[in-house]
Amino acid sequence: MIVGIDLGTTNSLIAYFADGEPKIIPNRLGKNLTPSVVSVDEEGNVYVGETARERMSLYPDSVAQTFKRSMGTDREYVLSGRRFRPEELSSMVLRSLKEDAETYLGEEVTEAVISVPAYFDDKRRKATKRAGELAGLKVERMISEPTAAAVAYGLYDKTKDTRFLVFDLGGGTFDVSILELYHNILEVRAVAGDNYLGGEDFTEVMAKLFLQKSGLSLQSLDEKEQVRLYRQAEKAKRAISDADRVTMSFLYREETREEEITGKEYGDACEELLLKIREPVKKSLSDAGLKLSDIDEVLLIGGATRLSLVRDFLIRLFRKFPDTKLNPDETVALGAAVQAAMKERREEVKEVILTDVCSFTLGTEVVVEYEQGKFEDGRFCPIIERNTVIPASHTERLFTVRDNQDKVRVRVLQGESRFAKNNLYLGEIEIDVPRAPRGQEAVDVTYTYDINSLLEVEVKVVSTGRTQKMIIKGQDNQMTDEEIQKRMEELAYLKIQPRDYEENRLVLLRAERMYEEALGDRRKKLDHYITAFEAALKRGEHDEIRDAREALNEILEEEE
């Protein structure tokens, strides 16, 4: 079975295709969204999702979140003394989703189509692929989130040609993509975005606004207080979308602080973020050679597009009401499931040709002559430019720059800077050339880039026909198959907790967190119900545990 997965910054989802449509698979708690949060305790037990998020309030040094923003980097997270890379933490989320799907479907899940932000570069895409492999999944195909959203919206079933803009503002990343549908071809025309902009930033603005009004500073808060602050800021951010003001409460040193924040105050504080949203929109339209009036439809995906200030801003920007018929949190996962069905060549799925674009320019380092006889090295020569429809193959002829030069080195780079050192290094080829006066020998450098983010580089000496090729599958920290297998074995000692106990652990963690946040009679009341539930757990009677859990849950809902 091939499934579709939306590996998100804030939440992740898994979906499959059945009965002629894509469907979300609920997790072990019966919910569609699994928070992209991982916790590891001192004994090596792994907690994923809502349980891990609850542990953050109690054991902040054992929890990691928003690690998708660091995919493809050398950053490490330390959880209970153990070190993990972002792709390893992502693999734990993927493994949890895989187990949930296998339990729900009653069959083994072996392969997945995983969505990635359109603006993810080669390092981030390969790190995502490694995460899938570490989770025991075969990942032959990745699909960009906007393309997945377009497929989910069913635009490939439209009878007329459509040009549309997909606005994807998730928890931690932001993409703008312009796609065009004609006949049965869904073509990505241009992409732009920001890998460090999302809903988490709007939460941070709310937290800073509260600190400013209350006279507190972030540095004055301990780790647990900071976690509580951002939890309350997240609630306030959501609440202010449905009201013109909100009262945010926060427990600081056994004292409850409250501040009223108006919609105007919050909107003014978010102005800088909204301006950052505008630039990628303008860039994508410019790269596609289009005006806003050329766009037929605007599609919103990503949980942060639920914010009223974001929607109001977009209505003013696009001068039209966006299409919001699907749940913005689920759209990408549903589209990935449709892509999985296409990969399985399911008869129920209308075959549509999906084309994508190269998100970043691919090129090489060259020496340029800026005046007669004066040269400057370290310059970047584009070969496949950003937003070129892929698969694509382009050739550039390069000449020797020194007399009797006997070698040419082609450094493969990705980026937009004029200077090679500012771009991402992917690999290199060195080839022998006959000695000759400067400029008389040349090589043809051909880059071929496909939809699976594989880059073939061919260097051919024009005079001799000698050729060298290489496939760029990764970069400096690329793991081999053997290294992936070894790391999978190393991670095997970590124990993802039994599914049957998840609900009980979650209730206890939530209760403990709320007990710490409560004062006076509320704390006594919570203690009574927590003690009763713990006693039922010790006795081990299934029905008694269920009744005590439900009673505790009711109290928690009332108190929160």
- Out of 54, 121, 168, 330, the active site residue is 168
C-beta of residue 460 within 8 angstroms of C-beta of residue 443: yes
Tokens representing residue 355 in the block: 């084309």
Catalytic residue among 122, 145, 225, 441: 145
Listed in order, strand segments (DSSP E) in 265-418 are 297-301, 353-357, 362-371, 374-384, 389-390, 392-399, 407-414
Q: Which tokens in the block code for residue 80? A: 């209970």
DSSP characters over 190-225: EEEEETT-SHHHHHHHHHHHHHHHHT--GGGS-HHH
Question: Is 201 a residue of the active site?
Answer: no
Provide CB contacts within 8 A for 434, sequence distance 6+: 406, 441, 461, 463, 464
**163, 178 contact by CB (below 8 A):** yes
Work out whether strand 11-18 and strand 21-24 pair parallel, antiparallel, or are unpaired.
Answer: antiparallel
- Which residue in 353, 413, 366 sits closest to 385, CA to CA? 413
Q: Token digits for 416? A: 């937009």
CB 389 within 8 A of CB 354: no
Measured distance CA(56)–CA(64) in Å, rounded: 8
Nearest to 10 by CA among 53, 41, 73: 53
- As separate numbers, helices (DSSP H) first and strands (DSSP E) second, the chain gives 14, 28
Largest separation between any pair of C-alpha atoms in the chain: 90
Read off the amino acid at residue 556.
Answer: L
Verify whether residue 365 is a known catalytic residue.
no
At 251, the amino acid letter reads L
DSSP state of 81: T
Closest CA to 362 of 483, 241, 445, 254: 445
Tokens at residue 276, please?
Answer: 């950052």
Half-sphere exposure of 205 (CA within 13 A, CB side): 21
DSSP bridge partners of 165 = 178, 298
Q: One of 50, 68, 133, 259 is an active-site residue; which one?
A: 68
**Dihedral class, residue 427 (left if φ above 0, else alpha if ψ from -120 to 50, else beta):** left
User: 310: helix, coil or strand?
Assistant: helix
Asked if 6 is an active-site residue, the reply is yes
- For the question of residue 145 being annotated catalytic, the response is yes
Q: Any idea which residues carry the catalytic annotation?
A: 6, 68, 145, 168
